[in-house]
Amino acid sequence: MTVFSAPKGLTDKIIGIGRNCAKGEFSEEYKSLINPYLKISEQHIQGSLKEHFEAGKKRHIDEVGKALERICLNREFEGVDRAIALAYGGELLTATMMSYILNSHHLEASSVPFSKWLVMTDRNFECDTFLLRESKERTDNLVKRIEDGKVLAIGGFI
């Protein structure tokens, strides 16, 4: 299993954009969040995997945009929309990119989507309570991937 964080400075950038959205200042600036990923992916993802990563990258940035739109509408940069913006713009996108890089170098890898995340918590974001039983129920998906010999790529600070 591999655990990845967002590229240096990206979390701070997302927080700044999110705070501006909470003031009602929505902009397309969030689309620039892909910039740190462009050079890395261009150098290290090979062949048709580049196209697949491009589609995944677009889905992640679209999720960030939707979360920021809701933040702007609700005038709050907290809770689930804050978590989505930070996760999809940072750790999840990094883990996705790294799974493509690992596959490009002949290591069978799989990123773990947010919907299959192992660690479950209640919805008290920023003060979460770990839900052991619910988390245990999600282990089958990850164990199966590991038994199949895949390297799991997950985001680290979600």
pLDDT at 118 over 70: no
What is the predicted pLDDT for the residue at 128?
67
pLDDT in tens, 96-108: 999 999 999 999 9
pLDDT computed for residue 120 by the predictor: 55
Q: What are the extents of the domains in the chain?
A: 2-155
State the CATH architecture for 2-155.
3-Layer(aba) Sandwich (3.40)
pLDDT reading at 123 higher than 90:
no
Q: Which of 14-18, 23-27, 138-142 has the lowest mean pLDDT?
A: 138-142
Give the C-alpha separation, 78 to 62, whole Å.
19
- As a whole number of angstroms, the distance between CA 80 and CA 122 comes to 11
Confidence band, pLDDT 50/70/90 cuts, at residue 65:
very high
Please give the mean pLDDT across all residues of the chain: 88
- pLDDT at residue 122 greater than cutoff 60: no
b/e sequence 51-80, b meaning 16+ C-beta within 10 Å: eebeebbeebbebbbebbebbbeeeebeee
pLDDT band, residue 75 (cuts 50/70/90)? very high
User: What's the whole-number mean pLDDT along residues 135-155?
Assistant: 83
